[in-house]
Chains A and B, each alone.
Chain A
Amino acid sequence: MATIQAGESYGFFTDTSVCIGCKACEVACKEWNQLQGDSPSFLADSFDNTGTLDAQNWRHVKFIEHVPDQSATTGNGTAWLMMSDVCKHCKQASCMEVCPTGAIIRTEFNTVFIQQDVCNGCRNCIAACPYGVIGMNSQTGTAHKCTLCYDRLQGGLEPACAKACPTQSIQFGPLAELQKAADVRLAALHSQGVKQAQLYGRDDKVYGGLNAFFLLMDKPETYGLPNADNAGLPSRNDAGGYLAALVTGVLAVVAGLVAFRRRVTG
């Protein structure tokens, strides 16, 4: 890969069709970022014992079993879904919008980063993130999430998870290149008849576009991701609220005027 340069947009293309659920990404992330991980517990949920992204888990492989009852079946990434989830580094980042201290910034690599020395631990971002990515670190009292290995990028290295991924399910690179690669891969799958394959966050329909976008083998809801209809910034909801308030106000004035006129004429 070419040199990593400030000023360029970087991200992940996570191709779930070739994920083998090995969790090397989870471990490589923890090793590089010195995350201890949560205390072990058996979740009885397929092979997932991580459960969720949080302050200690910045990559999380989801396992979704759709294996049919037949004794022979096609795998091809459709029957046992595996997806290495991560912070999406949204173009329209909800966390950034609600952060009162300006701790959450967009870096020179166009990634979303929480500055630990500015974060005051208010948890607004945790509530705002539509993907449940962010968690509180009980030791530092601040919010933590994937940094897209900001320190590695600054040193010219690709993020630890992408480096460790054995099947290139996690690809790192300049966003434009990743988008091109994703289009090629999607076309290949569609030509093989895998019609349900779809890109998520490749275009601007989901939070203005995701720097960490995905190739999914089922609809986003299957993976617990909001679909395009539901993926907008909190401020989008505000517009409706403001409009409703305005309408209510106007109606109130009109109603008042009507009431007064009746009294006068009555």
Chain B
Amino acid sequence: MTNHWRDIKNSDLILINGANPAEAHPVGFQWFMRAKLDRGAKMIHADPRFTRTSAVADMYLRIRTGSDVAYFGGLINHVLQNSLFHDEYVRNYTNASFIVKEGFSFKDGLFSGYDATKRTYDIASWSYETDSTGFAMRDKTLQNPRSVFQLMKTHYSRYTPDMVSSITGIPVADFMKVADLVGQMGKPDKVMTIVYAVGLTHHTTGGQLIRSGAVLQLLLGNMGRPGGGMNAERGHANIQGNTDHAISWEILPGYLKIPAPGQKTIADYVAGSAPKKSDKNSWNFFGTNYSKFMVSTLKAWFGDAAKKENEFAFSFVPKPAGNASWMTIYDQALKGKMEGLILSGMTAASIGPDSNQVRQALGNLKWLVVMDALPTTSSEFWHAPGVDASQVKTEVFMVPTTHWIEKDGSFVNSGRWSQWKDQVLPPQGQARHDHWILADIFQRVKKLYQSQGGKFPDPILNLTVDYKDPLKPELDEIAKEINGKDLTTGKQMTSFALLRDDGTTTTGDWIYTGSYLDSGNLMKRRQGVQDTKTNDPTGMGFYPNWSWSWPLNRRVMYNRASADLDGKAWDPTRPGITWNGSKWVGDVPDYPPTMNPHDPAAWLPFIMNGEGVGRLFSNSMLDGPFPEHYEPVESPVANPLHPGNSASPVVFLYDKAAGRPDRFGTATDFPYIATSYRLTEHEHYVTQHVPHLVQLQPKPFVEIPYELASEKGIKSGDQVRVSSKRGKVEVLALVTKRLGAMTVAGQKVYQIGIPIHWGYVGLSADSDSSRGRYWLANALTPFVGDANARTPEFKAFLVNLEKM
């Protein structure tokens, strides 16, 4: 979230797309209800299904899954055509006025620079025209035909209400009702929030689905403001923390890029990774400090072995030559290129797309280690129903771990608050903490390197393991290490702005610097609603002494943009930060605290960007500088905008590249659109072991539109088979009018809903005669992902439906 949960109460309009907060985040959802009840905010939910969120929304719109770029694109067009954007904000706080290079174009669904053989773009033409100083040229009148503003206006002029309706299935009149409400949100005294979750992420166009919402928010001047922002709801209590600490292969902690092959020095690395300053008033804070963050990270990892003479051990860090995202791992295993795999806190056999293929991949391994508190579909895959255990050669080790309730540590919520928690129960049986298991493995590997040598022992032998007991590090010690310290004084660092690249400071994750000071662990703070006057002095709900929020305890990111050029709040009733004549007050400023906004050299508001302003046009995406609607890889219709380039032209096709048979289906065999999701009663797969929750949703089912069920003679409670090109599920039917037919590209289509929570492990499976043989929802989903992040397209694919 750019903002945070409680802040949603400050909104006038809440757009919810690709999310179901009432079910997935019922506790956070109280703030949506407060906005509704206390300030009369309107809540608009666009979703393939009428869910428990829709049930309390002011407007529900049935939208075709994966078509939200068209929805937001239509809103962008409405705002641009009718001049409803926040003029002052757009001119000064976005790159609308930047001039794009000659040669940039968009035609028939393709941006300039496309290479059809490689299925990639050369993005050279997606950049700015520069002047003699090397900075981007700007036209603040926004009239230059190659200004971002004019290019954008042309790009989205195709997203007419009729086109939006044709793509999304939302009737024009209903879409216009939303457009009218959204159109009012560009006024300075109005503010809208967009809330999304994996319903936007889990598409081949996932990154652009989210960007299309962000572009709309920039046009309306809603980024950086309380009650505004782009707010991602994370799928677990600590998924935000996972991402911050580099769970994804392409980043190091704190969203530093993973080094690339060929980079030999810190300078090479920074040149290839850091944003570049493109305006004289851009601070480019991230780019400017990139080397300090990286060197301090290397010092935390490799201690004395990281020296100026050896580029601070930069050579110790892997520089992957190829993609190493989730699907790539299993693709490699399918090709027989993986020996073993350690799964910690997730079950590959359930969570991945095309689970039959993933199971095959697991069976190709020599060994598999599953670290989990309870048996999972991965630890048990070798004797799953229908599997002949004698034919599985993989040796599987189940290493019992503690559950989160059996350890202390931090949870980082969607709103970036790192909240410390205590251990509630002592570990049971032989369970050990995940980090103790890893510490133990590390020490054993290190010993092997010490005794036997190896190809490249330096990173292993020199890794800092500076804990009281190297085999049992305490999470408190690790939290302290993550914050980092000044090696010259031995004191904890108080801010990442003070990190240096001379080897005298450390950080385990620069965005967490400031969370654990010499005075103690700020994540433990609990000054909340027991005294609202003292603890929430601005009344905006920031509660600065409740836990700790990255970065630097800031509650709303980009908050310089909450004030106008003079430093006054756009809406005085909802200030973020304001200039009081000598300093910025309110939230922790995302800006130098005493920088006078009237100073001609004052920095632009978006300090992390090279541009210093919000990017309506961005060259940081692999699939286009403007979000464009592409069909899901499996779709019943051709893209109404450009049928010749229907799906994203740059998604990576694993099976094709590996020479495996095509595993995508067509509407002829699989006529219905399906989408997968979670229910409020379960948490992924682990709650299959919890009796009270199994009672609430005891059996796998699919939600089927009433009209389609009537055509097929299916009643609620009937056994049905849902199949895709990749596999099938055999589960119960739940017939409902909450799903229904829609007209897309002139064609009648149905969407079917598939909850994901079941498999061949757990109480439900144990009590079923089939042992849950065909219960894995991901047996249906396609092995293809977003062009940028490669997040799988779990949310849109084609199936057939039969009564059994």
Contact = CB atoms under 8 A, between A and B. Distances in A.
Interface of A: 17-18, 20-24, 26-27, 30-31, 36-42, 44-47, 49-50, 65, 67-69, 71-77, 79-80, 82, 166-168, 188
B736 interface: yes
Contacts of B171: 71-72
B434 interface: no
Given A42-B717, A65-B738, A23 B680 contact: yes
Interface string B207-220: 00000000000000
Contact of B174 (A24, A46, A50, A72): A72
Contact of B56 (A49, A73, A76): A76
Contact of A18 (B33, B53, B716, B736): B33
Contacts of B444: none
Interface residues of B, number: 53
A31 B60 contact: no
A76 B37 contact: no
A80 B50 contact: yes
B175 to A, nearest CB: 9
A21 to B, nearest CB: 5
Nearest to B731: A42
Interface stretch (B341-349, B456-464, B693-701): B693-701
Contact of A44 (B692, B732, B737): B732
A49 B55 contact: no
Given A67-B737, A76-B58, A20 B29 contact: yes
A41 B699 CA distance: 8
Interface in B180-226: none
A36 to B, nearest CB: 7
Nearest to B679: A47
B692 A27 contact: yes
Contacts of B720: none
Contacts of B174: 71-72
Nearest to B63: A71
B697 A80 contact: no
A166 B29 contact: yes
B734 interface: yes
11 contacts: A21-B22, A21-B55, A22-B23, A50-B695, A65-B736, A71-B169, A72-B62, A74-B60, A75-B57, A167-B26, A167-B33
B60 A73 contact: yes
Contacts of B693: 27
Question: DSSP majority for the B interface?
Answer: mixed
B56 A18 contact: yes
B740 interface: yes
Given A20-B55, A26-B696, A72 B61 contact: yes
Nearest to B40: A192
Given A22-B22, A47-B679, A168-B33, 9 more contacts: A38-B695, A40-B698, A46-B736, A67-B738, A71-B742, A72-B177, A73-B50, A82-B55, A166-B27
Contacts of B695: 37-40, 49-50
B55 A44 contact: no
A102 to B, nearest CB: 34
Nearest to B28: A166
B110 to A, nearest CB: 32
B767 interface: yes
B522 to A, nearest CB: 27
A63 to B, nearest CB: 9
The residue in B53, B61, B170, B698 that gathers the most chain A C-beta atoms within 10 A of its C-beta is: B698
A49 B681 CA distance: 11
A241 B3 CA distance: 66
Contact of A77 (B55, B694, B697): B55
Contacts of B738: 65, 67, 80
A69 B716 contact: no
Interface in B4-39: 22-23, 26-27, 29-30, 33, 37
A104 B61 CA distance: 50
A148 B742 CA distance: 46
Contact of B50 (A20, A49, A67): A67
A166 B692 contact: no
Nearest to A169: B33
Given A65-B736, A72-B170, A75-B45, A168 B30 contact: yes
B490 to A, nearest CB: 45
Nearest to A82: B55
Contacts of B56: 17-18, 20, 75-77
B170 A71 contact: yes
B54 interface: yes
B764 interface: yes
A30 B737 CA distance: 31
Contacts of B45: 75
B59 interface: yes
Contacts of A168: 30, 33
Nearest to B734: A44
Contacts of A74: 57-60
Given A44-B732, A76-B56, A167-B29, A69 B696 contact: no
The residue in B22, B62, B679, B691 that gathers the most chain A C-beta atoms within 10 A of its C-beta is: B22
B155 interface: no
B33 A82 contact: no
Interface in B667-698: 679-681, 691-698
A246 B454 CA distance: 105
A41 B734 contact: no
B158 interface: no
6 cross-chain pairs, A with B, having the tightest CB-CB distances, nearest first: A40-B698, A44-B717, A44-B716, A72-B174, A71-B62, A20-B22
A45 B60 contact: no
A47 B737 CA distance: 13
Contacts of A39: 695
B52 interface: yes
A69 B60 CA distance: 12
A27 B58 contact: no
B717 to A, nearest CB: 3
Contacts of A22: 22-23, 26, 52, 680
A45 B715 CA distance: 11
A72 B29 contact: no
The residue in A20, A22, A50, A77 that gathers the most chain B C-beta atoms within 10 A of its C-beta is: A20
B55 A69 contact: no
A205 to B, nearest CB: 27
A21 B680 contact: yes
Contact of A37 (B50, B692, B734, B767): B692
Nearest to B173: A72
A34 to B, nearest CB: 11
A21 B738 CA distance: 15
Given A31-B692, A40-B767, A69-B740, A79 B50 contact: yes
Given A30-B692, A71-B61, A21 B732 contact: no
A168 B738 CA distance: 25
Given A76-B56, A82-B52, A45 B716 contact: yes
Contacts of A44: 715-717, 732-734
Interface string B751-768: 000000000000110010
Interface string B712-726: 000111000000000
Contacts of A21: 22, 52, 55, 680
The residue in B58, B60, B171, B679 that gathers the most chain A C-beta atoms within 10 A of its C-beta is: B60
A41 to B, nearest CB: 6
Contacts of A18: 33, 37, 56
Contacts of B37: 18, 188
Contacts of A68: 737
Contacts of B680: 20-23
Contacts of B692: 27, 30-31, 37
Contacts of B740: 69, 71
Interface in B276-334: none
A79 B699 CA distance: 25
Nearest to B37: A18
Contacts of A24: 26
Contacts of A166: 26-27, 29-30
